[in-house]
Structure formats: structure tokens, C-alpha cells
Amino acid sequence: MSFVIAVAGKGGTGKTTLASLLISLLTKRNQGAVLGIDADPNSNLAEALGLKVKEDIGGIVDSVAKNLAGIPLGMTKEAYIDFRIQTSILEEKGFDILTMGRPEGPGCYCYVNNLLRGLIKKLADDYSYIVIDNEAGFEHLSRRTMRRADRLLLVSDASEAGLRAAKRISDLVKELEFDIKEISLVLNRTNEILLKDKLKDLGLGIFSVIAEDEELLNLSRQGKPITCLDHSSKAYLEVNKLLDIILK
């Protein structure tokens, strides 16, 4: 069974940055196949890794629904969608990327979630590692796309809103009784231990602190992928350390 790392938190806190860096580092370690799943409808995980999405799950569901006559004879709609999704997986440089996207048809969102959940279960044996970049909100958690994870990383910046979102996700995950072995808070773009009291109030411990990173800023300014991040950059070193601990 694959080792699943899920990343969640408020929008703009650094989820995709962390997820893409984890995928890049896991690939470099060369210890088995890596699958990245972009479960955020505002997809940009593939892009962060320098890839271009051809078709996402939402788009596939829409296009099949619009052209039912295009389903091969003797194949159910579900089987055909499943086939289309499997062939849409981007296979690149040692890791694969699956992008969920957002279907346009009404009432399709749950359908896509269910598809994705089934697919994750099926793919779990094909990959050693799965990294899930989750949607910013936490509504999707109650739709239960992600039920199992070995580690849930909650990303927050130093803002009150970011920390509260992390806390809410942590509470919700426990309430819904997901099978999550460990939940850890990752503070991003900060080096303040000034947050100690606030974190204590929220009942959150710090697992990792990623400082504001000039090199990351430069990359995103130049539109370069995370795979170009310098190995001596703060974010690279910290996430590498974080990975050591998680995989131990």
C-alpha cells in the first residue's frame, strides 16, 4: 500500500509549493513511484512542476456526458470515464500527476469526488507514494475525497486566519473519523516563534517552519518550476528535513 501525504490549509499559504516540493524530493530519492494528485479545482500542481495538463477529470466527465454516443460499444459510461482518466495521467520524469479540475455540468462535483476516491483506492497499489494537494476550503473534506493518509500536513502562514483554518481542518478530520495516522502543522513564510502562545491556545504544535524564501520568490517571478529550486535554498532544505522525519 502506498504512503499517502496530504497537504491542506487556507488558500495562498503554500500548499502547492509544499506538495510540489515533496513530489520533486520524493522522486529524487528514487524509492518508488510517486503520484501527485491535484484535488484543488483551481489546479496548478502540474504547472508548479513544469508540466502542462492535457485533460483533467472534470473535463473528461463533461466531455463524456456531452457525447454519450462516443462511448465505445459494450463499455459502460463509468468504465469509459475510468479509462479516459487513467490515460490522462501525466507521466513525467519519475512522477505522475492526476488533476481533478472542476466539472461544469450541474451536480457533477460529488460525482467527480466519488470517481477520484475510487481511483485513489485503485491506484494505491501502483505507487509507493501519493501526495495530495487539497482544495483550500475544507468543505471537500466532508465530501470525503481523502479518507486515508499517513500524514496530513496543515500549512499556515503567520496569519490568524491561516492558523484558524488549520485548526478547523484538524478538528473536522477528527470529527469525521478519517483514517489519518498523524496530523502536523507546517508554518510557512515565517520564522516567528512569536506564535507560540497563539498556537498553544489553538492546541496546535509546530512540526516544521519554512522561512520566507527569496529563491522561491524568484522562481515564481520567472515562472520557473519548483524542480529548478536551488538545493541550498531554505525551503528545499527544510522540506527535505521534514521528509526525513515523515519517512522515518
Ligand X SMILES: Nc1ncnc2c1ncn2[C@@H]1O[C@H](COP(=O)(O)OP(=O)(O)O)[C@@H](O)[C@H]1O
| C-beta of 78 vs 212, nearer to ligand X | 212
Give the footprint of Mg ion on residues 10-29 (CB under 5 A): 15-16
Provide the CB-side half-sphere exposure for 101 (13 A, CA): 21
In terms of Cβ atoms closer than 10 Å to its own Cβ (0-12, 13-18, 19+), residue 168 is: middle
How long, in residues, is the chain?
248
Out of 31, 86, 87, 220, which residue is the one contacting ligand X (CB under 6 A)? 220
Q: Which stretch binds ligand X (CB under 6 A): 8-16, 49-57, 107-115, 198-206?
A: 8-16
Q: For residue 72, what is the DSSP state? A: P
The CA-atom distances, in angstroms, between 188 and each of 155, 197, 212 are: 7, 17, 7
Nearer to ligand X, 131 or 235 (CB): 235
- 188 vs 227 by CB, closer to ligand X: 188
Q: Contact between 213 and ligand X (CB under 6 A)?
A: yes
The verdict on 15 binding ligand X (CB under 6 A) reads yes
For the sheet containing 95-99, what is the strand order? 90-92, 95-99, 34-38, 129-133, 3-9, 148-156, 179-188, 206-210
Q: Which of 59, 140, 49, 135 is nearest to 101 (CA)?
A: 59
Count the site residues for ligand X by CB under 6 A.
16
- Cα R_g (the chain), whole angstroms: 18
**Residues numbered 160-199 forming contacts with ligand X, rule: CB under 6 A:** 188-189
Of the two residues 10 and 151, which places its CB atom closer to ligand X in the complex?
10
Binding mask 106-145 for ligand X (x = CB under 6 A): ----------------------------------------
Of 64-72, 104-112, 197-205, 215-223: span binding ligand X (CB under 6 A)? 215-223
Pair type for strands 129-133 and 148-156: unpaired
Q: How far is the CB of 64 from ligand X (least distance, A)?
A: 29
- Give yes or no for a contact between 105 and 62, defined as CB atoms under 8 angstroms apart: yes
The pair phi, psi for residue 206, each rounded to 5°, is: -85, 130
From the list ligand X, Mg ion, none, partner contacted by residue 27 (C-beta under 5 to 8 A by kind):
none
Nearer to ligand X, 34 or 39 (CB): 39
**Where on the chain is the footprint of ligand X (CB under 6 A)?**
11-17, 188-189, 210, 212-213, 216-217, 220, 235
**Where on the chain is the footprint of Mg ion (CB under 5 A)?**
15-16
